[in-house]
Structure 1
């Protein structure tokens, strides 16, 4: 009987070890210093925010998406019960076993699934560097210039939003990737259709692999000034008028934009 208890205790301790490590990483040390860095595999979900920069190096355009969700009325304002609400979101989703605890892989997979790789932008995640380094001037591409196959952008940003255990990757892409409102070049549309066909042709995954909705987001580019409004707003779900539609900014994403690092990225000084 004693041996069985010992085995059960050892098994429970082994199971709780990752959680203990994560909790320990968030604790301040005895000197009162800031918490340790969050382990890379601590995230539960990941999002990607593609953006471009102006010639001056400031964030110019940002890719967001519209999604209609049934949410609690209190989630987007006052009231009780559930309501259908058009939300502005960043493409995001939960990590799966096949991502191997790599937030970049999670963000890339979710972007492809949710937008059918709108604009064929997922490829930039293969080379993006999220350590905050890079020479902005060196990434400027002259009008009509060819984008290098391994173009990585500069001053990309990775944020961890603890309340949602979410990692957000802010990934720069060349300005030439921005399409006219409501339009997308035929070549990009064909690649999107190919992506949709590939997802449909994939065999059904094992029960351990979750599969969410596919191609349900409506992506489009907006001016960075719209995100600055969200970051400066006091509303839980800031209201916006985009694509000739009234919508609310997803509260979790709005909270992320209010983080000091995100405000600096948006060039908000105060």
Structure 2
């Protein structure tokens, strides 16, 4: 009975959050755990993770081994963080089921803080939406790779770029943020089908919008069927230090309650 009550309470809380705030946190990590030189071998990350998928996801190193340094995620130069399935750490986590639980379309927002106090002007941080599932693939850079549907890159020198399957566009509105830089990227998806339109809605750097208007030239290009994979990246900094990573979604209004039931089904399956 206690477990059933917990699931019912989660449903009520999720429904209330969705109706009042609009956004639902799928995953977050404050990285406030013991220092380590290898997050892959440091045990469960659940103590600092939050959101509806907190116990479904573990971060894993890609290209270079990632650290935890003073409560921050350390990405050595030319490295990436991949989201993996906690129940099967060898497989990348597929976000499509969690997104579909809130409807066929929606708005995904990723936020993090970039500690650029020790970074050089050419150092950067980035996020990729829609990458393939080949865990053996270790491209030099993921954000501008031909298999990445939409990548957004923020440089300390002020440049902000986005990439459509490797094709680059540099924004005219450069940022001027320094020190600890909050970054927020919002991407709307018209559907979760192969070829579904992706729209880059917003790129906030240091609290300022750098995107003059939404860009709808992107689309899901599923190289592996219908799975949605995300990836976090850094270059330079030795290492890049990031903190307070959050992935949230704003569902279709008509799908709020149904999405709550769908996510409960996902979590129940993951606990068995």
TM (norm. structure 2) is 0.28
TM (norm. structure 1) is 0.29
Higher RCO (CA-CA < 8 Å; seq separation 6+): 2
Q: Which has the higher strand share?
A: 2
Larger-Rg structure: 1
Q: Which has the higher helix share?
A: 1
